[in-house]
Protein backbone atom coordinates (compact mmCIF):
# COMPACT_ATOMS: atom_id res chain seq x y z
CA UNK A 1 0.00 0.00 0.00
CA UNK A 2 1.14 3.42 -0.75
CA UNK A 3 0.67 6.46 1.39
CA UNK A 4 -1.79 7.86 -1.17
CA UNK A 5 -4.12 4.85 -0.88
CA UNK A 6 -4.18 5.22 2.91
CA UNK A 7 -5.17 8.84 2.67
CA UNK A 8 -7.95 7.96 0.21
CA UNK A 9 -9.36 5.46 2.69
CA UNK A 10 -9.49 8.09 5.41
CA UNK A 11 -11.55 10.52 3.34
CA UNK A 12 -15.20 10.12 4.27
CA UNK A 13 -17.70 9.48 1.52
CA UNK A 14 -19.51 12.67 0.63
CA UNK A 15 -23.10 12.67 1.87
CA UNK A 16 -25.73 13.03 -0.83
CA UNK A 17 -27.55 16.36 -0.77
CA UNK A 18 -30.99 14.79 -1.10
CA UNK A 19 -32.66 11.35 -0.92
CA UNK A 20 -33.03 11.41 -4.70
CA UNK A 21 -29.26 11.70 -5.05
CA UNK A 22 -28.75 8.72 -2.74
CA UNK A 23 -30.97 6.42 -4.78
CA UNK A 24 -31.41 7.58 -8.35
CA UNK A 25 -33.09 4.26 -9.21
CA UNK A 26 -35.65 4.57 -6.39
CA UNK A 27 -39.20 4.17 -7.64
CA UNK A 28 -41.23 7.35 -7.66
CA UNK A 29 -44.95 7.45 -7.07
CA UNK A 30 -46.87 9.44 -9.63
CA UNK A 31 -49.97 11.12 -8.25
CA UNK A 32 -52.90 10.67 -8.43
CA UNK A 33 -52.77 6.90 -8.05
CA UNK A 34 -54.41 3.97 -6.32
CA UNK A 35 -52.58 3.57 -3.02
CA UNK A 36 -53.07 0.48 -0.81
CA UNK A 37 -52.80 1.01 2.95
CA UNK A 38 -52.81 -1.49 5.81
CA UNK A 39 -53.74 -0.23 9.27
CA UNK A 40 -53.16 -2.42 12.35
CA UNK A 41 -54.68 -1.88 15.78
CA UNK A 42 -56.27 -3.67 18.70
CA UNK A 43 -59.24 -5.81 17.73
CA UNK A 44 -62.48 -4.05 18.62
CA UNK A 45 -65.94 -4.08 17.05
CA UNK A 46 -65.69 -0.42 15.97
CA UNK A 47 -62.03 -0.37 14.85
CA UNK A 48 -62.86 -0.73 11.15
CA UNK A 49 -65.49 2.03 11.31
CA UNK A 50 -63.06 4.36 13.10
CA UNK A 51 -60.36 3.76 10.48
CA UNK A 52 -62.78 4.29 7.58
CA UNK A 53 -64.07 7.51 9.14
CA UNK A 54 -60.55 8.94 9.41
CA UNK A 55 -59.64 7.82 5.89
CA UNK A 56 -62.76 9.42 4.40
CA UNK A 57 -61.78 12.81 5.85
CA UNK A 58 -58.51 12.70 3.88
CA UNK A 59 -59.62 10.69 0.85
CA UNK A 60 -63.27 11.49 0.11
CA UNK A 61 -65.05 9.14 -2.23
CA UNK A 62 -63.51 6.01 -0.70
CA UNK A 63 -64.78 2.88 -2.42
CA UNK A 64 -66.06 0.76 0.46
CA UNK A 65 -65.52 -2.37 -1.64
CA UNK A 66 -61.77 -1.89 -1.16
CA UNK A 67 -62.07 -2.13 2.66
CA UNK A 68 -61.10 -5.52 4.08
CA UNK A 69 -60.72 -6.25 7.82
CA UNK A 70 -59.00 -9.35 9.20
CA UNK A 71 -58.37 -10.40 12.80
CA UNK A 72 -55.02 -11.82 13.85
CA UNK A 73 -54.69 -15.52 14.57
CA UNK A 74 -55.18 -15.05 18.32
CA UNK A 75 -57.82 -12.32 17.87
CA UNK A 76 -55.85 -9.62 19.68
CA UNK A 77 -55.23 -7.39 16.65
CA UNK A 78 -57.21 -6.37 13.60
CA UNK A 79 -55.81 -5.18 10.28
CA UNK A 80 -57.82 -3.07 7.89
CA UNK A 81 -56.70 -2.92 4.27
CA UNK A 82 -58.01 -0.20 2.03
CA UNK A 83 -57.09 1.33 -1.31
CA UNK A 84 -57.43 5.08 -1.68
CA UNK A 85 -56.84 7.50 -4.52
CA UNK A 86 -53.74 9.32 -3.31
CA UNK A 87 -53.27 12.87 -4.53
CA UNK A 88 -49.87 13.68 -3.02
CA UNK A 89 -47.33 13.17 -0.25
CA UNK A 90 -48.97 15.82 1.92
CA UNK A 91 -52.28 13.96 1.84
CA UNK A 92 -50.63 10.69 2.83
CA UNK A 93 -48.64 12.27 5.67
CA UNK A 94 -51.78 13.96 7.06
CA UNK A 95 -53.72 10.69 6.78
CA UNK A 96 -51.03 8.69 8.58
CA UNK A 97 -50.81 11.34 11.33
CA UNK A 98 -54.59 11.34 11.83
CA UNK A 99 -54.70 7.55 12.03
CA UNK A 100 -51.96 7.50 14.68
CA UNK A 101 -53.65 10.36 16.56
CA UNK A 102 -56.71 8.17 17.20
CA UNK A 103 -54.63 6.33 19.79
CA UNK A 104 -56.02 3.05 18.50
CA UNK A 105 -53.65 2.48 15.56
CA UNK A 106 -50.39 0.65 16.21
CA UNK A 107 -49.00 0.60 12.69
CA UNK A 108 -49.71 2.02 9.23
CA UNK A 109 -48.12 0.31 6.26
Give the Cα separation of 108 and 39 in Å (integer): 5
Single pTM value for the model: 0.72
Residue closest to 34 by CA, chosen among 70, 56, 66, 58: 66
Q: Is 75 left (phi over 0), alpha (psi -120 to 50) or beta?
A: left
Give the Cα separation of 43 and 70 in Å (integer): 9
Q: What is the pLDDT of residues 38-89, one digit of tens each?
A: 999 999 999 999 999 999 999 998 988 989 999 999 999 999 999 999 999 9
- In this structure, whether the domain defined by 29-108 belongs to CATH 3.30.70.260 is answered with yes
Q: Report the pLDDT value the prediction gives residue 90, as an integer from 0 to 100.
A: 95
**Domain boundaries defined on the chain:** 29-108
Amino acid sequence: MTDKSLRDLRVPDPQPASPEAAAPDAPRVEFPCDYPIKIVGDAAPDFEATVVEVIETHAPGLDRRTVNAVDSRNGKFRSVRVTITATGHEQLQALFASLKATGRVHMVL
